[in-house]
Amino acid sequence: METDARTEELLEIFKALADANRLRIIGVLAQQPSTVEQLAAMLGLQPSTTSRHLSYLAHVGLVSARAEGYYSVYRFEAAALEALAQRLLARETLPAAAADVDLDAFDRKVLRDFTGADGRLKQLPAQLKKFDVVLRHASKLFAFDTQYSEKQVNEILAQLHEDTATLRRGLVERRLMARDHGVYWRVADVPASP
């Protein structure tokens, strides 16, 4: 799986925050700057373990250290966390982490499982998510900007399954088609799988 630099950075931050001791260290440092020895005593950790956690947190920019005499005093970098959050959790960042994922794989699997060689549905799925896949597939049988009578809708849906009433009702309920006085039309582009 390929990952870009932003995804790698996001993984590093999540790894840093995925350890209870590192979270506790950040919690203490959010209240007061502290040395390794102070943190170790407060948290009941060995100084070497505390140093290792601080090093990792510093690596991802969540803490910084400044020398004070013989000691390094660590502090939480709240501004750095806020900047990281804004940059990494931007609307485009998380979807980019799944750029190489086949979002239509579930739909194809459901259709393979529920359709026969002739392309007709063997049965209607009982599970709502799978039924939604069937409805999205059925909606593609209808053109946009075309009005259909109920008889025409039934004839088209009968190509998929004999229970045209359930399919027709589902298309309207899921807002893939609209209905007014016996006239139907496709109103929405087929939404992606949730």
Which candidate, 119, 191, 131, places its Cα nearest to that of 159?
Answer: 119
Domain with residue 77: its CATH number is: 1.10.10.10
Tens digit of pLDDT per residue, the chain (194 long)? 445 777 787 788 888 889 999 999 999 999 999 999 999 999 999 999 999 999 999 998 899 999 998 889 999 998 888 887 777 666 666 666 666 677 788 999 999 999 999 989 999 999 999 999 999 999 999 999 899 999 999 999 999 999 999 999 999 999 999 999 999 999 866 554 44
Containing structural domain, residue 162: 105-186
Q: Are residues 67 and 28 in the same domain?
A: yes
Q: Are residues 160 and 112 in the same domain?
A: yes
The pair of structure tokens assigned to 183 is 């006239």
- Residue 192 phi/psi, 5° resolution? -75, 165
Q: Are residues 90 and 127 in the same domain?
A: no
- Domain stop point among 69, 96, 123: 96
Task: Name the pTM for this structure.
Answer: 0.53
Q: Are residues 22 and 42 in the same domain?
A: yes
Measure the N-to-C terminal CA separation of the chain; round to a whole number of Å. 22
Say what the pLDDT of residue 175 is. 93
Q: Are residues 111 and 85 in the same domain?
A: no
Say what the pLDDT of residue 98 is. 65
Measured on CA atoms in the order 54, 56, 57, 63, is the torsion positive or negative? positive
Say what the pLDDT of residue 129 is. 94
What's the rounded Cα separation, in Å, for the pair 115 and 33?
Answer: 63
Say what the pLDDT of residue 25 is. 95
Q: Are residues 111 and 30 in the same domain?
A: no
Say what the pLDDT of residue 184 is. 95
Say what the pLDDT of residue 169 is. 95
What's the rounded Cα separation, in Å, for the pair 43 and 144?
Answer: 64
What's the rounded Cα separation, in Å, for the pair 70 and 151?
Answer: 87
Say what the pLDDT of residue 1 is. 42
